């Protein structure tokens, strides 16, 4: 068994040095009375609240609600975005008619759509999923559009020689050629959808989910609950980012195989 070198161990630990130092200072400050526990509870209090939330099942239910909401919105927004990106990239007419409209849509801040979506769909589950879908839509469209517009001319000419129909061209030429850009768009859309999930839970009607529990912690001044949810959100965000990167790499390896 070959043990990793000291330099390799240090490289792996380096990203954790600052968070561990911050945690140590936080714990030291809490024990020394530097912080008001009503505003910044100690790490020990946060850990105790986390254990209590896990034990009574509340945290698991909230995480499951947020994840299901997130994945539903991502699936709708990303699939629609890839389809629209293919249409814009492969049809000059669609690009002329819909391209300017989509570019104008991108200039509107995402959270500016909240009042309109809440009027159309309400602030309940449908409104939240619509908002998440909107967040996932733009990166999927942009990257798919760019990828299909950059298909090599030689491949287009080859398809013409082989008299490919539109569906065959999409299946055998467009999708394989644009796959790296599409994968990047899906990775970005997954991250955006997660951010929008928490935003929807914070700004629309309170419902089961991490955002709703954060609102509960704020309104009842339970800082230990609020910080527990924030830490869980950070951990889940890291997991999403790494999972999206791994999925993108797997798609590209499959393309090269």
Which domains are delineated in the chain? 41-256 (1.10.3720.10)
Given 3-state DSSP classes, what are the helix, strand and coil percentages for the chain, each rounded to the nearest 5? 85, 0, 15
CA dist 30 and 45 (Å) reads: 10
> Considering the chain, what percentage of its residues have pLDDT values greater than 70?
89
Looking at per-residue pLDDT, the higher value among 156 and 229 belongs to: 229
Taking CA atoms, 124 is separated from 64, 131, 208, in Å, by 17, 11, 11
**DSSP assignment letter at 209:** S
**DSSP per residue over 113-124, as a string?**
GHHHHHHHH-SS
34-45: burial string, b at 16+ Cβ within 10 Å, e else: eeeeeebbbeeb
CA dist 146 and 117 (Å) reads: 28
**Taking the model in full, what pTM does it have?**
0.81
pLDDT in tens, 11-38: 777 777 777 888 888 888 888 888 888 8
Mean pLDDT value across residues 225-235: 89
Q: Residue 170 has which token pair?
A: 């999409």
Residue 86 above 50 pLDDT? yes
Residue 135 above 70 pLDDT? yes
**Which pLDDT value is given to residue 1?**
47
Contacts of 101 (CB under 8 A, 6+ apart): none
């Amino acid at each position: 068994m070959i043990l990793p070198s000291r330099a390799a161990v240090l490289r792996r630990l380096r990203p954790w040095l600052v968070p561990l130092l911050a945690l140590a200072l936080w714990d030291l400050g809490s024990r020394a009375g530097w912080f008001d526990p009503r505003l910044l509870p100690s790490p020990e209090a946060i850990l105790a609240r986390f254990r209590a939330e896990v034990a009574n099942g509340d945290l698991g239910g909230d995480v499951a609600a947020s994840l299901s909401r997130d994945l539903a919105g991502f699936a709708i927004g990303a699939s629609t975005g890839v389809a629209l990106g293919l249409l814009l990239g492969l049809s000059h007419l669609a690009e002329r008619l819909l391209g300017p409209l989509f570019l104008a849509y991108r200039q509107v801040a995402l959270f500016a759509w909240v009042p309109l979506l809440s009027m159309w769909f309400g602030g309940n589950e449908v409104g939240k999923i619509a908002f998440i879908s909107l967040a996932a839509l733009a990166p999927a469209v942009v990257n798919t559009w760019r990828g299909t517009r950059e298909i090599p001319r030689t491949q287009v000419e080859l398809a013409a020689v082989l008299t490919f129909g539109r569906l065959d061209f999409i299946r055998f030429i467009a999708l394989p050629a644009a796959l790296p850009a599409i994968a990047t768009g899906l990775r970005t859309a997954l991250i955006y959808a997660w951010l929008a999930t928490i935003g929807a839970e914070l700004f629309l009607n309170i419902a089961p989910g991490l955002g709703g529990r954060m609102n509960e912690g704020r309104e009842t001044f339970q800082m230990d609950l609020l910080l527990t949810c924030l830490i869980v959100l950070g951990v889940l965000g890291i997991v999403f980012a790494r999972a999206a990167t791994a999925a993108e790499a797997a798609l590209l390896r499959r393309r090269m195989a």
